[in-house]
Structure 1
């Protein structure tokens, strides 16, 4: 999947009783993804989830890190339920992934947002991206993905031009992309 398929993403706790990201035990860390269904389907997003998420799939762990799929409409719920059955069959074990309706999202602390990009703060400074903008910035979402080695080289080249990324940054991102391509840490 290309970061171009997602316009923004943020790491957020959900199902908490308050918007206090420091609460203990009553929230689950999730990512919220805004996507264009003309570019990528919900089914394809679930494939990405299954191919890159193992923590807590088959082991009971604390709620903060549990495996959870949230849905916004009944069709998404139906697809997720079917896909859990398919994945359980492939793995030949019971999956612990829960499916629940999406509720309010409370942003996690800034230091959790776009981890890969934040490791290169000089890029944020040069592009004038603030910590607060990390949650909703398309530029931040795409750069973060490419820094993690996600997407295709073709999309990377297109996005660097389309987003007006200065050559110094584009060159650095391309090097990081090549070093991390094929990895599975997307945050």
Structure 2
């Protein structure tokens, strides 16, 4: 089952409107449910930024606290790049904002297919 969770009536209306637009012209109805968001539970620590954690050397070199792993925008962006989401060109543009060492940046460039930094 897939679901869209909403927090207020505005989000609910937007979800319903989007579902209606997307339903037009389809042979089968969309099965996604629109449901009020209730209590949210963070995943266990070892699931947080899972793909980034799999690059142990890089992950350890970032020296992030558990709170930073969960809340850091940069950790989220790096997790996406490590997982193959985002182009090498996009990474190159964002790189100055990450505050990475030359070694960290070089490793990430290799992971996402750009090759070593010059």
The TM-score bracket by the shorter chain reads: 0.7 to 0.9
Where relative contact order (Cα < 8 A, 6+ residues apart) is larger, the structure is 1
Report whether the alignment pairs 1:99 with 2:34: yes
Q: Which residue matches 2:79?
A: 144
SS of the residue 1:178 aligns to: coil
* Structure 2 unaligned blocks of 5 or more: none
* Structure number with bigger Rg: 2
* Structure 1 unaligned blocks of 5 or more: 1-65, 180-187
Q: Which residue matches 1:110?
A: 45
Structure 1 runs of 4+ aligned residues shifted over 4 Å read: none
Q: Which residue matches 1:82?
A: 17
Report whether the alignment pairs 1:72 with 2:4: no
Distance (Å, rounded) in 2 between the aligned partners of 1:120 and 1:91: 41
Structure 1 residues 80 and 157 mapped into 2: Cα distance closer, same or farther (>3 Å)? Answer: same
Higher helix proportion (structure 1 or 2)? 2
> In angstroms, what is the RMSD of aligned CA positions?
2.2
Distance (Å, rounded) in 2 between the aligned partners of 1:99 and 1:168: 45
Distance (Å, rounded) in 1 between the aligned partners of 2:52 and 2:11: 30
TM, length-normalised to structure 1: 0.53
Higher strand proportion (structure 1 or 2)? 1
The superposition leaves residues 8-57 of structure 1 with CA deviations (integer Å, 9 ceiling, x where unpaired) of xxxxxxxxxxxxxxxxxxxxxxxxxxxxxxxxxxxxxxxxxxxxxxxxxx
The superposition leaves residues 76-131 of structure 1 with CA deviations (integer Å, 9 ceiling, x where unpaired) of 21121122233333542122211122222111111221121011121121110244
Distance (Å, rounded) in 2 between the aligned partners of 1:153 and 1:102: 35
Paired residues in the alignment total: 114
